[in-house]
Amino acid sequence: MKFGVIIFPGSNCDHDAYWTIKNVAKQPVTMLWHESHDLENCDAIIVPGGFAFGDYLRTGAIAKFSPVMESVRKFAAGGGLLLGICNGFQILCECGLLPGALMRNVGLKYVCKPVQVRVESTDTPFTNACRTGEVLTIPIGHMDGNYFCDASTLEELRREKRIVFRYAESDGRITPQANPNGSLDSIAGICSPGRNVLGMMPHPERAAEPELGGTDGYKIFESLVGAMAER
């Protein structure tokens, strides 16, 4: 099993993801430079958070043209496991690997705080260590986390159970007050039709060790390791 973490100019959570995989999950991991086509035979790819290319034009708009993303598209099309976190989620939407778009937060302010997300589906390689309805506390840190898609896409996401995380109260209730960015249907994370690509706005790598204040985020990496072991 081998993980790869992509580095773009402006990535700032790449080393956090690398640390979590290497030192907490204790799995082989390598950094992948954005100008390279070589995914180095990785079994799972992380597109990390940050501000790829300074978020010029809009979040992810330039990163999608990076050479590495050509290889990532082929990797995902072949069933490879791909996780986009925060800016990574934005990039995956820009690339068309996930539907919809991440818009400016309602309130037009950067939001950085722990939030609660309810696990809506455990039928993915990223959530198999969770329980359906389980509430996880994971931090967010974004200005453009307001997920939006058209009505037909939303219906498709619901019908196919591809909404993986929703913002929620600590008791699991979905309320407007629990939604930190105005995201449509309180969506915090979605997966692809093949369920091998996940985009999520919360940062699981920031909640993977007790020293960080909580370990709920580690369940995402635990799930990935388990899924890779079964392949």
Query: What does the block give as tokens for 164?
Result: 């993986």
Q: What SS3 state is found at 3?
A: strand
Which one of the listed residues 93, 94, 120, 203 is annotated catalytic? 203
Cα atoms found within 13 Å of the Cα of residue 49, Cβ hemisphere only? 20
Q: What are phi and psi of 90, to 5 degrees?
A: -60, -40
Comparing C-alpha atoms, which of 129, 219, 113, 118 is closest to residue 172?
118
Catalytic site includes residue 205: yes
- Asked if residues 47 and 73 have their Cβ atoms less than 8 Å apart, the reply is no
How far is it, in rounded angstroms, from Cα 37 to Cα 199?
22
Q: What are phi and psi of 23, to 5 degrees?
A: -100, -20
Which one of the listed residues 94, 120, 205, 222 is annotated catalytic? 205
Which one of the listed residues 86, 93, 149, 191 is annotated catalytic? 86
Catalytic residues: 86, 203, 205
